[in-house]
Every structure is written in C-alpha cells, then in structure tokens.
Chain A
Amino acid sequence: MESALELHDLTVAYHKKPVLYGIDLAVPSGKMVGIVGPNGAGKSTLIKAVLGLAPVAGGWVKVFGKSYRENCKRVGYVPQRESVDWDFPVSVMDVVLMGRYGHLRLAQRPTARDREIAMQCLDKVQMLPLANRQIGNLSGGQQQRVFLARALAQESDLYLMDEPFVGVDAATEAAIIAVLQELREQGKTLLVVHHDLANARSYFDQLILINMRLVAYGDTVEVFTPEVLQATYGGRLTLLDDVAQAMARRPALDSDRR
C-alpha cells in the first residue's frame, strides 16, 4: 500500500547545526501517529521539514508518493498556538476560512461553498456560536479548536499537528481527540506532536520516538516500552521511573491524566 508519508534519510540543520539526523520513516494511511521525545528532540522540526518550513540539509520527503509541493493540498497543518499573534484583527470565521486558501486561486475570494465548509468545521469543534468573535477574546482551548477547525477546512488526507493539546482544558482535549478519531475512521492519516507520555499510549495507534535521531517507530504496543523510552529520553530517569511505575500499576493508562 502507498505510504501517506515517507521520509528518507532526512537531515535538518539550522545555521549548519543539525537538529535531525537521517530520519527514515514510512507511515501508512489511516493511522493516528504520535511524535514523542524530550524537549529539543526535533519533534516540531520533523513536521516543519515535511511542510518545507525547516531547512532540509539532506534526504527527501514524499507525501502520498509525490513531493510535498505537488501534494500540498492533501496536507493539513495545525501549528503551535503561540506561533501567531492572537491580537490580530480577524474573527474566528476569518481564521477558519484561511484553511480554504489552498483551494483558491491567486486573488480569488472565498466562495459561499468555502464559507459553508468553514461553518461545518466550526460546528465539528463546537465553535460555531463564536464564529464572529475576534480571536483574542477566546480561551486557550477555544483558540486551539479554531486551529483544528482551520485544518479540517483544508479537507486534507494527511494532518500534521504541532502540540494541539498544550494549554487546553480537559473538555477541549476530549473534544479534539474525538475529532481526530473521527478523521482516522475516515481513513485520514494524522501525525501529532505530543509531549505527555502519560496518555500517549492510549491516544495513538503508532508512535514515532525521536531524539534528534529516530529511536523507534512502530505500533504503540510494541514501542512504548521502558527500554525504548529510556533510549529516547536518556538521563531523565525520574520521569521514566514515574512512567514505568504508572505502567506497572495500570497497563492501560486511559484515565491517567497527570
């Protein structure tokens, strides 16, 4: 079967300083994949490299068998929430419509159909009543939902999400997970940068564990082991001990939130 995303010997360097070395991956379609690793491991850089936003020093990226540029319409992106200025004078609706820009020609305005799609996406994340609100007047969780709705409006087959659960309340986290699972059921592929080991295991079908190099990639049940985590997180033993103990106590960490 064709891979949704294929990376071959991908190396990324900022100012000649490599941050990711020789990543080899082939992610099949229809999987929900978590990207985990310590701070500075290059988790965000990995998805930015796929999108052409990080300087690729070597190797290549293929999205559904073609270069990213050829298939960019098939990729949806949720950036980190802090990456934009939330005082920007736009409404929730304006931001979600930006997800449609990839489907529009130069200087073409969003059509009635684009608005309709944007409304449906807002409805999916339960943000339709706030469509006309300026984005600064939203809570962190609501802002994250807006970003998710914008990515949904891209109507893509592969979604790349950078820390969508940071700073959101439990209700939003549950709502986002429900939307992501629905996407997976439709056969979409999701790559989600995630920092919380405690629930990584219950959320994702597969995990990519990185620390500048690829440590492990595979089905969650196979790679979420103390040995692999140790290899990924290195010396941070206390953290690992906690996780190991929690795993020993409760094999399934579904309800474990900090």
Chain B
Amino acid sequence: MTDLIPEFSWETVFLTPWREDVDLTIWIVATGFLVTTACGLIGHYLLLRRLALVGDAISHSILPGLVAAFAITGTTALWASMLGALVAGLVTVALIELIHRHSRIKPDAAICIVFTTLFALGVAMMSVLEAQGSIHLDADCVLYGEMTWVAIEPPLQIGGWTPVEMPGPVLRLLLLVGVLVAGIAFFYKELLLTSFDPGLARALGMRTQAWHYGLMGGLALVVVSVFESVGAILPVAMLIVPPMFAAELSDRLSIRMVWTVVHAAAAAVLGMHLAVWLNCTAAGAMVVCSSALFVLVWVGGLAVRRLRLRRVMRGGGA
C-alpha cells in the first residue's frame, strides 16, 4: 500500500511547481479556479430549485450534441460544439419535462431515462463516425477531460494579433465566468423570486418557464465550456459541492456566492499540489480537494453547533 503513494516531500509538492514550470502551474490553477467558479455559481440555482440531478443529465447528454454538431457541420470548431451542446442541453430539459408532465413517471426517474438514453445515443453515434474514420474522440478525454493540455494551448490569436497572453481555453473560461457573474448580478432579483416562490413570480407577471429555460441554457453553456478541461463527469461534482460548501458557511445567497469563489480558489490550488504529489490528473485532484473542503466545514459546523449547545445547556441548567 505504501508503495502506491509517492513519498511526500514539502519541497517537491509545494515549492517546485512554483519555482519550475511556473507558467504551467499558474494556468492549471487558473483553469481549475475558473471551471469550479463557473460550475459553483450556477450550481446554487440548481440546488435551490432541487434540480441537482439535471446538472448530471445535461453534462452527459451534451455528448450526442457534440457528435451531431460535428456530423452536420463537419468541423470540430468551437462555435459548432457550443451550439450542438446548447441544443442538446435544452432538448434534455424539454424531454425531462415532457415525460414528467405526460406520464406518471417521477422527475428523478424521468431525468435518468433521458440522460442515459441520450448519452447512449452519443456513444453509438461516436462509434459510427469512428468506424468511418472521420473522427477520433478519446474516451478518456470525454470522461475526464485534460486540464494539463488545456493549460499548454496557444493563446487566442485574431489575425496574428494576440490580445492576451494566456492559453485560449483559459481566456474562454474567463469570458464564461464574466458572462455568468454579469448575468447573475443583472437578473439577481428575477432568478431569486422564480427560484423561491414561482407562484408569486407568475402572479407578478414573470415568465417562470422562460427563466427556467434561460437558466438551463446557461447550465448547458457552462457544462460544454468546462467539458474540454474536466470532461463530462467531474462537473457534476463541481456544480453541487461548492454550493454545499458555501451553504455551510452562510444563509444569504449573495454571501454564499462569494464563498463559492473562495472555495474554488482553495480547491484549485490544493488540487494542483495534490496532483503534483500523487502524479495524477489535476481535475480529479481538484474535485477531491473541493469535496474535502466541504467535509471540513460540514464536520466543523457540526462540532461548533454541538459546543454551542453544550455551553447553552450548561449556562441554562445551572
């Protein structure tokens, strides 16, 4: 067992990444931070609307969207993948609602039916295209993504001009987070009321269905944007764990959002060091650290409440 775990050395795990390969380290941490932030921010609304499983569903069902986009346009260009994934995401949400509304099937079962079927469809379509030799998608990449490759990609260039000296995918993630933060800040009140009390929202004339689909479209956008760096499965954790972490620390949504960002930064840095130590995938290590941080505040919160209760009992029982 001990042979399996590499020897821990403070020097190589914590200092070397920042001394050598500084660029790579920075971009890996930045990617992890941006991915976790994007997922975590939108994840709050999934948790509040009891849609945690829908994140799971969309992250799987974008696969057929990506393959179909390639089959139709013949390119793996970003815009095509984005469009394909967005359409697949919205189709998933619509199908789930359709099944739920017109049958006795409960929402959780409807979600499972839809996303496994769509994922299977995606796998089948992919193997057809592979057999024709027109595409090669690495299953490992689809499932786990590869953060290290993302970090060494060339910067975005517009006609030979480089606007920012950062890997293209990192810049795209930065834009995504920017759009997300702006969207949440701009429509904070609408998202809040349609999540908290859809009845009043509709009575006030808000189109709750439109907000639902808008949010789901945003979710599809996030999931497809983080797909290349963390794959299809890890976002499921990143959508849910950071909001849970924040929920342990605050009972105000706006403050929880801030905690999500702090958590994303901590998980990214710690995850990078864990990956260096264990020589493993950075994305996986970051999610492990993210969950570890959640367990820490959860157990910590339990202990604090227990202590407080004991103090109150002692004070009051005298």
Residues of A within 8 A of B (CB): 48, 51-53, 69, 72, 75, 77, 79, 83-85, 88-91, 94-95, 98, 101-102, 104, 106-110, 134, 136, 150
Min C-beta distance of A74 to chain B, whole Å: 12
Q: Given that A90-B252, A91-B252 are known contacts, is A104 also in contact with B189, CB under 8 Å in the complex?
A: yes
Q: How far is the CA of A27 from the CA of B56 in the complex (A)?
A: 50
The listed residue (A52, A84, A89, A101) touching B252 by CB distance below 8 A is A89
Min C-beta distance of B133 to chain A, whole Å: 50
Within 8 A of A (CB), among B169-198: 186-190, 192-193, 195-197
Q: Quick one: which of B188, B195, B203, B205 has the most chain A CB within 10 A?
A: B203
Q: How far is the CA of A142 from the CA of B247 in the complex (A)?
A: 23
Q: List 29 A-B contacts (CB under 8 A).
A: A51-B199, A51-B202, A51-B203, A52-B203, A72-B203, A72-B204, A77-B199, A77-B200, A85-B48, A88-B195, A89-B48, A89-B251, A89-B256, A90-B192, A90-B196, A91-B252, A94-B192, A94-B252, A98-B192, A98-B197, A98-B200, A101-B189, A101-B190, A102-B204, A102-B205, A107-B187, A107-B189, A134-B251, A136-B251
The listed residue (A52, A98, A107) touching B196 by CB distance below 8 A is A98
Min C-beta distance of A21 to chain B, whole Å: 23
At the interface, yes or no: B250 with Cβ under 8 Å from chain A? Answer: yes
Q: Quick one: which of A52, A95, A98, A104 has the most chain B CB within 10 A?
A: A98
Flag if B197 contacts A79 (CB, 8 Å).
yes
Q: How far is the CA of A75 from the CA of B200 in the complex (A)?
A: 11
Q: How far is the CA of A51 from the CA of B201 in the complex (A)?
A: 11
The listed residue (B187, B199, B204, B256) touching A79 by CB distance below 8 A is B199
At the interface, yes or no: B288 with Cβ under 8 Å from chain A? Answer: no
Q: How far is the CA of A107 from the CA of B189 in the complex (A)?
A: 7
Flag if B252 contacts A98 (CB, 8 Å).
no
Closest residue on chain A to residue B255 by CB atoms? A89
Flag if B205 contacts A72 (CB, 8 Å).
yes
Flag if B205 contacts A109 (CB, 8 Å).
no
Q: Given that A101-B189, A110-B189 are known contacts, is A83 also in contact with B252, CB under 8 Å in the complex?
A: no
Min C-beta distance of A44 to chain B, whole Å: 11
Q: Given that A79-B197, A83-B197, A101-B189 are known contacts, is A89 also in contact with B250, CB under 8 Å in the complex?
A: yes
Chain B 107-143 per-residue mask, 1 if CB under 8 angstroms from chain A, else 0: 0000000000000000000000000000000000000
Q: Quick one: which of A51, A83, A101, A136 has the most chain B CB within 10 A?
A: A101
Task: A69-B205, A107-B189 given; name 9 further pairs at CB < 8 Å.
Answer: A52-B202, A52-B203, A72-B203, A79-B197, A89-B251, A98-B197, A106-B190, A136-B251, A150-B200
Within 8 A of A (CB), among B253-273: 253, 256
The listed residue (A75, A89, A136) touching B203 by CB distance below 8 A is A75
